[in-house]
Amino acid sequence: MANSKYEYVKSFETLDKLLPNVWIVVRVDGRSFHKFTQKHEYQKPNDERGIQLMNRCAFEVCQEFTDIVIAFGESDEYSFVLGRSCNLFERRESKISSSIVSYFTSQFVYRWREYFNDYPLRYPPTFDSRAVCYPSNENLRDYLSWRQADTHINNLYNTCFWTLVLKGNKTPAEAEAALCGTLAEQKNEILFTQFQINYNNLPQMYRKGSVIYRKLVEESYLDQKSNQQKSKFKKRLVIEHIDIISDKFWKENPSLLNDK
């Protein structure tokens, strides 16, 4: 760009580089999604189409931005973790955050019909995003544990609430009053004794959320020289619905936290 007398306006721009050598988490969150799900008649308490669409959008984001180490999603939100050594957009917060949320949103609109078939998209969805730095592996794990614990708490409540409304013939106000002050074990008891629903048997996608990461998987191939089937390990992007609070997942995937 040629210099001009107007170029001084660039001096008003703020430098928003994120700290070096820390984990970056970009959380994408649906804006006014309660209204959006009502207008588009999402099934309660969980709409599999909506969750699968969110997962697909996040998967495409991880494909596009390879600096993403792991992502976790629940309901209308997704958290994307970028490694310590990531230098995407020179670690500029506004560029990273806006690029990820805009790509996610465009994928949501673009792939809507793949999951909702002929149900029309009545108006475009809106997502906001924020970027937060976490200095240690422990901080990062605690963040992801917080989001997965939130998944369980919210899903148990919503499952109980909508079961009381849809199967128990209660009004929303009555269901809310019935659950006020109840603990997790009491909600489980309501589901089991009144509706014969064992919460632990519900799909893990609803109870644990969705985890996207590059997993080391064994793949077979035909060796051209020997004409025999052989195998090799490759990292492939996968979506799983598993526990990431306990140590087991991290011990099985130590490379996720080894980014320098």
pLDDT band of residue 260 (cuts 50, 70, 90) is: low
Query: Which of 257, 218, 214, 205 has its CA nearest to residue 237?
Result: 214
Is 97 marked within a binding site?
A: no
Is 34 marked within a binding site?
A: yes
pLDDT at 233: 79
Other beta carbons less than 10 A from residue 79's beta carbon: 21
pLDDT band of residue 108 (cuts 50, 70, 90) is: very high
pLDDT at 2: 62
pLDDT at 117: 96
Query: What value does the mean pLDDT of the chain take?
Result: 95
pLDDT band of residue 223 (cuts 50, 70, 90) is: confident
What domains are defined for the chain?
A: 16-208 (3.30.70.3000)
The C-alpha atoms of residue 96 and residue 25 are separated, in whole angstroms, by: 10
Is 209 marked within a binding site?
A: no
Is 80 marked within a binding site?
A: no
Is 130 marked within a binding site?
A: no
Is 40 marked within a binding site?
A: no
Cβ atoms 131, 96 nearer than 8 A: yes
Is 220 marked within a binding site?
A: no
Q: Across residues 196-203, what is the average pLDDT?
A: 98
The first and second tokens of residue 85, run together, are 């050594």
Query: Taking the complete model, does pTM exceed 0.75, yes or no?
Result: yes
In a 10 Å sphere around its CB, with 0-12 CB exposed, 13-18 middle and 19+ buried, how is residue 132 labelled? middle
